[in-house]
Amino acid sequence: MHDQASALRDLASRENTQKSKMRVIAVTSGKGGVGKTSFTVNLALALAEYGQRVVILDGDLGLANVDIAFGLSARYTIEHLLSGEKTIEEILLIGHRGIGIIPGGSGVQKLADLERDKLRNVIANLGRLEKMTDLLIIDTGAGLGHIVINFLQAADDVILVTTPEPTALTDAYGLLKSLRVEAGDVPIHLVVNKVRSEADALATYKRLETAVQKFLDGSLNYLGYVYDDSFVGRSVMQQDPLGISYPDSAAYKCIQWIAGKVAGIYVHPPRQAGGVRGFLSKLLRSF
């Protein structure tokens, strides 16, 4: 993989491109069932309301379902892009508010096995995303799998979704511990999902932040919270995102608030974005 990463950097350096404004956010969780994908989909919709152009890469190998959340069905995935059968435009699905969706599935893992000629094709295709979007959001799998960790350390920023449940907090801390070792310089932003009150959310954040400061010598950025809302479950069953089916729901109002903070982060980014080439370079180097 060292040769592949070197090849990628060589190819990227030969192209005279302007510095891209596109940034890569990885949304993750320590365990399944905390509402990560629903949050990702609705965050994208809320960001679109702020004028952001957003593409979601479905990076969950075991349960790729971003397209289903939009009520769509993927005919092609990133695997067809990696094989050279299809272009990025041919596999890209378009959801509500112009949100782009790159169906991932098992094809994501094959990024680690690309030959040089196919790597050049992938760079050219994904490079075109920088003209289509401002933010690439990766919906990672849950847990500590090596593909998940690789995505997180390659991203510009990480949003960690958890809930107040003790098991969710334990798993979130485990993920943070791994990230501290593997990707210590990646900014991590916490969202507490399925809360009954703001006080519950703040207490959850403080418990996790205290542990991170004491044992990991690090810190977390508190990004916000999302209310436990029955409309979320209804929207999932209807295969229509919360922001479309129940835009006035309490949960979506929270996500709109969080999206405003995220949009602000990227108006004045905390560090320079690497764009598609920077993301791929770090991702391939990590395999």
Domains of the chain by range and CATH? 2-11+28-286 (3.40.50.300)
Q: Angle between the 275-286 and 116-127 helix axes, to the nearest 10 degrees?
A: 140
CA-to-CA separations, 21 to 24, 104, 242, in angstroms, rounded: 10, 23, 28
Binding site as annotated, residues for ATP: 31-38
3-state SS, residue 197: coil
CB atoms within 10 A of CB 203: 14
3-state SS, residue 226: strand
Residue 63: predicted pLDDT: 66
Report how far residue 116's alpha carbon sits from residue 284's, in angstroms, rounded to the nearest whole number: 12
Residue 270: predicted pLDDT: 44
Residue 12: predicted pLDDT: 42
Report how far residue 43's alpha carbon sits from residue 262's, in angstroms, rounded to the nearest whole number: 9
SS3 content of the chain, % helix, strand, coil (to 5): 55, 15, 30
Binding site as annotated, residues: 31-38
Tens-of-pLDDT digits for all 287 residues of the chain?
Answer: 444 444 444 444 443 344 446 889 999 999 889 999 999 999 999 999 999 999 999 887 666 689 999 999 889 988 888 888 999 999 999 999 999 999 986 656 666 555 666 667 777 888 888 888 999 999 988 777 777 887 888 888 999 999 999 999 999 999 999 888 776 678 899 999 999 999 999 999 999 999 999 998 888 999 999 999 999 999 999 999 999 999 999 999 999 999 999 987 655 444 556 666 677 666 666 55
Residue 285: predicted pLDDT: 63
Residue 116: predicted pLDDT: 63
The residues, any chain, with a CB within 8 Å of residue 136's CB and separated by 6 or more, are 22, 23, 24, 25, 54, 55, 56, 57, 129, 276, 279
Contact 249, 231 (CB under 8 A): yes
Selection from 117, 65, 120 nearest residue 280 by Cα = 120
- Distance from the Cα of residue 18 to its chain's centroid: 24
Residue 154: predicted pLDDT: 84
Report how far residue 263's alpha carbon sits from residue 195's, in angstroms, rounded to the nearest whole number: 23
